[in-house]
Structure 1
């Protein structure tokens, strides 16, 4: 008998497994259909001896001290500030667009933020109502920079023109007038010193947690006794695609090991205008590893494959809301994580969501809850209150 069955060994499922096992002293079975823990953050040493990310680059950044404090229980960190270059007109220039980018592309000598701002305003085109991703960019930097940096990349990434996508897609990428070439500006920009997989191993190394890999949730559900369920997989799959499939964009990764120390000047180079792939990542920049070999990954967007990015269009959100209504009616089942809530989250956001869900569990779910396999209503004694540290972290 397990108190909790958790589906998915990525950030959402693993954080909740650790919290429940440690703070509630309850038994947890965590299952995953893949042959490894850590979800899309899974990293490994390849045949060339390079620590690489199996599912593309995962760069940790957050403004939350509390989330860093929590994860620091399971890893040491190394500082890392991510920088990205884009190949535009046979030049490698910083992205997000900044003053250095403008000077390089247009052979300018802009020396101040004010000069760069004036240049961008001279090219911006007024848009009466900002509705789409195209509107966002054109209204800020004009059509030429939109075509060079955004349109081709977005069409490859999403299989749709920016004019067909919600404004949130390109709103995530800022435009700067200074020379700050960091991709992120968060307070904490760090990488797990020994990798993500090692961090997850330590997170799940509790005697109350059992891990089952290469496991089909539906088979496990029929053969295992448990009281309550946490589901972090695709919400439409949980309900057998009752209303149809929720649209996602996927990715195909082509990993290549090279007998040379480095391949490119930064971790990631984007290809907005050329090539079938969107970017190339070289992992040694992320990890700080010293090796005579290097490993790179070519990233190809795809309409099929594992679900990565929910497609941000109004009709898709409406379809999700129909599934959400079914989820709200499920007894003793918690839907957590990006696939279960059909939202794109950064890693720190998933950790924050999982910790917030744990607080709700502590406040509302008795220690001994439902009968086996989540049928029926909660009963028995109330749960102990969360530790003061957790209340601070989750506030």
Structure 2
């Protein structure tokens, strides 16, 4: 008999499971259909002994002191500021996001002030009356040439759509800078778990009130293990048996390679914006982890239309479809939908943690703690 069944052992599920078990003293069963905990943040040592991320690079960054403090209960940290280079025309490697160094290298200029760079952008920008699409965002800020160099091909590969077909939120996430700051993120807290993400999740879920079952489907346990309430972090459309049709996602395919050399590239990630290659980026993990090792492991990312759901596709018709599922979710008793897939939104890791902590506060305010004589909830929706 469990007080809670938590479906998904990623950030949303693990954070809530730990809070429910340690703060409320309730019994929690955590399941995941994959053979491991930690969701997409899962890391492991490969056969060569290099610590790598099975699902591509995950770099922790946040401006939330509360989120950072909470996760610090389960890990020590290694300071790390991620840097990304773009391999563009003539094989040049330039900083991404676009900054003063990017402009100077691309155009053989010697701009020295932010005002000069802003004037450079302004002279090329094509202002639009209403910014609606991802193309509008970039062309309206830096002009068509830089848009073509950095954004159009990359976006077409990543999303399978032209930027003119995508919501403005996609490219709005990537800033354009007039200074020389070459960090990919500018958050107040930029760190990596000192022993890796999987170790952090292991500590989070190491509680006598928590039972973890990996390689387990929800359908196999929902009636087998009585539970009073449910946390669902999987795809919301799957929970409702795709009643209104599938919500569209983009997926990724990862090609991992261990190389018999100490380093492969000059930064943690190198982006390939051009459509002459089918992949979007290559990442090298030793930059992220600080590991000293004579070999190195890299991951090449290939966007895909089919596969595990990674990125909700931000188009108006998809948002409308999600709203129909959201209405069903809101009407489902004793069930909380949390995380990227359950709410059909793109979240950074810290945002998922923040959402999970906010959900726990709501549970604390609304749900009485379970008592031994409470009746069981035999299956979700009963």
> Which position in structure 2 is the counterpart of 1:372?
377
1:362 deviates by: 0.5
Tell me what 1:98 maps to: 99
Residue 235 of structure 1 contacts residue 323 of structure 1 at CA under 8 Å; is this kept in 2?
yes
User: 1:269: which partner in 2?
Assistant: 270
2:213 is matched with 212
Name the residue aligned to 2:188.
Answer: 187
| Preserved contact between residue 332 and residue 374 of structure 1 (Cα < 8 Å) | no
Structure 2 portions without partners, runs of 5+: none
CA contact (8 A) 1:333 1:374 kept: no
Mapped to 2, the partners of 1:269 and 1:312 lie a distance apart of 25
Superposition TM-score, scaled by structure 2 size: 0.97
Summarize the alignment of residues 48-63 of structure 1 with structure 2, pairs less than 5 Å apart: 48-63=48-63
DSSP 3-state at the match of 1:122: helix
Partner of 1:393: none
Residue 224 of structure 1 corresponds to which residue in structure 2? Answer: 225
Unmatched 5+ stretches in structure 1: 378-395
| Aligned residues: CA RMSD | 1.0
Contact persistence 1:228–1:373 (CA under 8 A)? no
CA shift digits 1:87-130 (9 cap, x unpaired): 11110000100000000000001011111111111111111110
1:156 partnered with 2:157:
yes
Give the SS at the match of 1:245.
coil
Distance 1:222 1:6 in 2: 14
Query: How many residues are paired up?
Result: 377
Q: Report the Cα distance in structure 2 between the residues aligned to 1:64 and 1:373, rounded to whole angstroms.
A: 38
Q: In structure 1, what is the Cα distance between the partners aligned to 2:66 and 2:230?
A: 26
Deviation at residue 374 of structure 1 after TM alignment: 5.4
Residue in 1 that maps onto 2:74 = 74
CA shift digits 1:168-197 (9 cap, x unpaired): 000000000100000000000000000000
Q: d(CA) in 1 for partners of 2:328 and 2:67?
A: 31
Q: How do 1:277-316 residues align onto structure 2 when only pairs under 5 Å count?
A: 277-316=279-318
State the distance in 1 between where 2:380 and 2:249 align. 31
**Could you say what secondary structure the match of 1:373 adopts?**
coil
Q: Does 1:18 align with 2:15?
A: no
CA distance in 1, matches of 2:11, 2:55: 14
Provide the C-alpha distance between the structure 1 equivalents of 2:209 and 2:224, rounded to a whole number of angstroms: 19
Describe the SS at the equivalent of 1:85: strand
Q: How big is the shift at 1:376?
A: 8.2
Per the TM alignment, residue 371 of structure 1 is displaced from its structure 2 partner at its CA by 3.0
* C-alpha separation in 2, matches of 1:154 and 1:256: 25
> d(CA) in 1 for partners of 2:380 and 2:310?
31
- Corresponding residue for 1:167? 168
Matches within 5 A, 1:340-379: 340-368=342-370, 371-373=376-378
Residue equivalent to 1:389: none
Deviation at 1:141, TM superposition (A): 0.4
Could you give the per-residue CA deviations for residues 299-326 of structure 1, whole angstroms, max 9, x where no partner exists?
Answer: 0000000000000000000000000011
> CA 1:240 to 1:155, structure 2 compared with 1: closer, same or farther past 3 Å?
same
What secondary structure is seen at the aligned counterpart in 2 of 1:155?
Answer: helix
> 1:391 matched to which residue of 2?
none
SS at match of 1:253: strand
Runs of 4+ deviating beyond 4 Å: 374-377
